[in-house]
A and B are shown apart, each in its own frame.
Chain A
Amino acid sequence: MVKNKSRRAAEIEHPSGDPRFNLVDRTLKRFQYQQDALIEVLHTAQEVFGFLEDDLLIYVARQLKLPLSWVYGVATFYHFFSLKPQGEHTCTVCMGTACYVKQAAEIVAMLQAEFGVAPGQTTADDKLSVATARCLGSCGLAPVIVIDSDVLGRQTADSTLAEIKARLSGQIRARQLEAASANDEVEEMEAETL
């Protein structure tokens, strides 16, 4: 990589005026347009846009003064980055060792049979994307799936199907997994006094 840590003199604004680019710009600024921050910038870009379209990659490459091939090379190397749009709902089935020995493959087979999508694909109506993961770090609950960022443990093909159908029909909205600490208020108070 070309060593270039100098700050950019003038920033190029994205001609479309899409406000989402401002969020990408914010990350770029936070890392002072360092080329080494490419992965952080791509993380933000994917978070705001959902996937990395060509236009976005070109924008990032320009801003960081990197060759487009370099940016494309990094974006395609990591599984986390998606160059294709995702469906409205996503279902990720863990195929890590613990889940594998507990028959996670049956869930993948069911998804293929029911919705006609293999891992990495999205249904034609853009409703559901299916992916597989290599261990989600909840092996105690194997087999594990993640639907729209909710982690569900001890799944079977049937329970997964029921859950997906409920979401597709809008019966369940995403649950919030993260529970805030009950002592948050106390902590804030203490922080103030110090």
Chain B
Amino acid sequence: MNRSDLQTLGERELAKQQSTGCRLLCCGSTPCLSSGGTAVQEVFKGILKENKDLKAELAVVSTGCMGPCSRGPLVRVQRQGEPDVIYEKVTPELAQEIFKKHVSGEDTNQAEANILPGDIPFFSKQKKVVLANSGLIDPERLEDYVAQGGYMALANALREMTPEEVCSEIIDSGLRGRGGAGYPSGLKWNLVRRAKTDKKYVVANGDEGDPGAYMDRTLMESDPHRVLEGMAIAGYAVGAEQGFIYVRGEYPIAAKRLEKAIRMAERRGLLGSRVMDTAFNFRIDIRIGAGAFVCGEETALMASIMGRRGQPIPRPPYPAQSGLWGYPTLINNVETFGSIAPIINNGAEWFAGIGTAKSRGTKIFALAGQVENTGLIEVPMGISLREIVFDIGGGVPNGHTFKAAQTGGPSGGCIPADYLDTPVDYDSLRELGSIMGSGGLVVMDDTTSMPDVAKYFMEFCMDESCGKCVPCRVGTVQLYRILERVTAGIATRNDLTIMEELCTMMQETSLCGLGQSAPNPLLSTLRYFRHEYEALIKDDLPLTSDRFALATSSVLPRQEVS
């Protein structure tokens, strides 16, 4: 398939969609399906099966995530020439009413109360670039993606741009890695491009180990072809012929959809050998993770792709110099790859025009925790935290007040209410002692105890430490034990000092990012909520046998490995 075939395919599919009188788009993402979406889809499909004559004017489409997950199951009604209508919390009965109103044209208002207005801040404050197709297309159909202009960026890059030009386009766009650290992507691409070896690899990091975050899962489930297209463009730019996409083991649907997407793209000649009738070959294989947080770290991830224990190795050499099987390897987060096609299509300037001076473009956040509207959002960089939590998120429910927002998961920190007006970008968050991270944003209200949160994350890091380096393996255990004493109310002031010393030691001496950043949640809660720790500390506590036992217990009862 070449460029003009692609165009024809897209136009044909678009014409077909537009000639369909009514399209019922049902969210087929995990949150909606598990809150009753399956039954809703069955109602629509049943209707379609009974009325075969409706086939020309009615289409039922199972789409990816529409965003406001807490309001699911969601159904979007698309009628030619009319604005879309979105229904929330749809039940099988309501599905019947929706069908009657929009397809049969009956005058019923039963479902009126469940209409989600399209102009609420949840939608209007967002800017969809990477998630542009999410919730609008059927992720299992290549044609749907092509109808939205899919694979055009790859076609244009292959025909009109040299690999060098692709790299400079990415550099000019100012795109920074969405996996956490925010390294400029174009520079990384250029490093791999300049390496002179016969083999190179491209790896998409879809491990998403950060608990409380599900942006990457949603992207892979809702628009798998976008990730593949981004990887293929990267392959062309750096001169690689083989790509791997590493999907977290907990995400079977994402893996299944990607697998199907790769098969379909290969059948159409959009991947595989001689991509779009050019001399460029690019294969993509999926690797399924097996449940280890540290495998999100790039060197550990590569060890895991090679079938080994996912333990990091010291850098340098960086993967761009020596990665998979010793060859230069480009490794980016899946959301980073998701941003590539829009940049090639609309130009670097357009992308650089969104966001702030040092953080360009948009970022997807998974909004969760104690907030009214939980769900997946995509916002321009530089938006204030207040807008995210209160306008898009709808504030804290049940009459509680906002206490802190946690970003960056176990490598990040908490941002207290005083800093709600800080713009959300890589550098401002870092100044506050947190990080942008991969995009998990968990809101905590006044019922949350901060030492408890710190203990929670320390337990996470202790469990997930791979055990290779001493500062991380031993440091996390020691910190966890002190935090246990703190939360039990038997710690001393001296313990706080020891904790701070240990934190610095771990940051400076750990082998990989896991250990270096494990102290962050603790340090940031100490920084903003020190009074909570101090309230738990009793200096004049007598040394009871309980306290003595806790203070001297040598090995913690750890969870059994299952």
Contacts and interface: CB of A to CB of B under 8 A. Distances in A.
B560 A121 contact: yes
B406 A84 contact: no
B439 to A, nearest CB: 11
Interface string A150-166: 11111000000000000
5 contacts: A36-B307, A79-B291, A80-B249, A81-B290, A135-B211
A56 interface: no
Contact of A119 (B41, B72, B559): B559
Closest 5 A/B residue pairs (Cβ): A140-B69, A96-B211, A97-B212, A78-B290, A98-B368
B141 interface: yes
Contacts of B288: 39-40, 43
Nearest to A176: B38
A76 B561 contact: yes
A129 B560 CA distance: 13
Interface residues of B, number: 79
Contacts of A80: 249, 289-291
B562 A38 contact: no
B238 interface: no
A136 B250 contact: yes
B31 A35 contact: no
A187 to B, nearest CB: 6
B307 A138 contact: no
B44 to A, nearest CB: 7
Contact of B61 (A77, A82, A175, A181): A181
Contact of A139 (B62, B287, B366, B456): B366
A98 B70 contact: no
A100 interface: yes
A139 B307 contact: no
B315 interface: no
Given A137-B251, A139-B366, A183-B59, A39 B307 contact: yes
Contacts of B464: 134
A81 B306 CA distance: 17
B304 A97 contact: no
Nearest to A1: B308
Interface stretch (B119-127, B227-235, B440-448): B440-448
B61 to A, nearest CB: 7
A182 B561 contact: no
Contacts of A191: 267
- Indicate the size class of the contact surface on chain A: 35 or more
Contacts of A134: 209, 211, 293, 460, 464
Contacts of B34: 138, 141, 150-153, 177
Interface in A104-130: 118-121, 129
Contacts of A91: none
Contacts of B560: 118-121
B28 A79 contact: no
Contacts of B440: 97-98, 139
B509 to A, nearest CB: 23
Interface string B143-159: 10000000000000000
B308 A139 contact: no
A55 interface: no
B250 A182 contact: no
Interface stretch (B90-98, B369-377, B522-530): B369-377
B253 interface: yes
A4 to B, nearest CB: 12
Contacts, number: 201
A18 interface: no
B37 A179 contact: yes
Interface in B442-472: 442, 444, 448, 453, 456-457, 460, 464, 466
A182 B30 contact: no
A187 B291 CA distance: 34
Interface in B512-562: 559-562
Contacts of B192: none
Contacts of A133: 250
A102 B293 CA distance: 22
A142 interface: yes
A101 interface: yes
A174 interface: no
Contacts of A139: 212-214, 366, 368-369, 374, 440, 442
A81 B562 CA distance: 7
B14 interface: no
Nearest to B443: A101
B70 A120 contact: no
Given A97-B406, A137-B214, 12 more contacts: A39-B304, A74-B309, A80-B290, A81-B290, A98-B374, A98-B442, A101-B444, A121-B560, A132-B559, A151-B33, A177-B33, A181-B61
Contacts of A1: 306-308
Given A102-B369, A138-B31, A141-B34, A120 B141 contact: no
Contacts of A42: 290
Given A139-B366, A140-B374, A97 B442 contact: yes
A76 B466 CA distance: 11
Contacts of A151: 30, 33-34
B140 A181 contact: yes
B141 A183 contact: yes
A84 B560 CA distance: 11
B409 interface: yes
Interface in B128-184: 138, 140-141, 143
Nearest to B249: A80
Contacts of B86: none
Max count, chain B CB within 10 A of own CB: residue among A1, A76, A96, A194 = A96
A76 B143 CA distance: 42
A17 interface: no
A149 B442 CA distance: 25
A28 interface: no
Max count, chain B CB within 10 A of own CB: residue among A84, A95, A132, A142 = A142
A73 interface: yes
B561 A79 contact: yes
A72 B214 CA distance: 31
A77 B250 contact: no
B41 to A, nearest CB: 5
A43 B290 contact: yes
Contacts of B218: 137
A177 B290 contact: no
A93 interface: no
Contacts of B60: 182-183
A141 B60 CA distance: 25
B61 A135 contact: no
Interface string A16-34: 0000000000000000001
A126 to B, nearest CB: 15
B35 interface: yes
A14 B327 CA distance: 37
A32 to B, nearest CB: 13
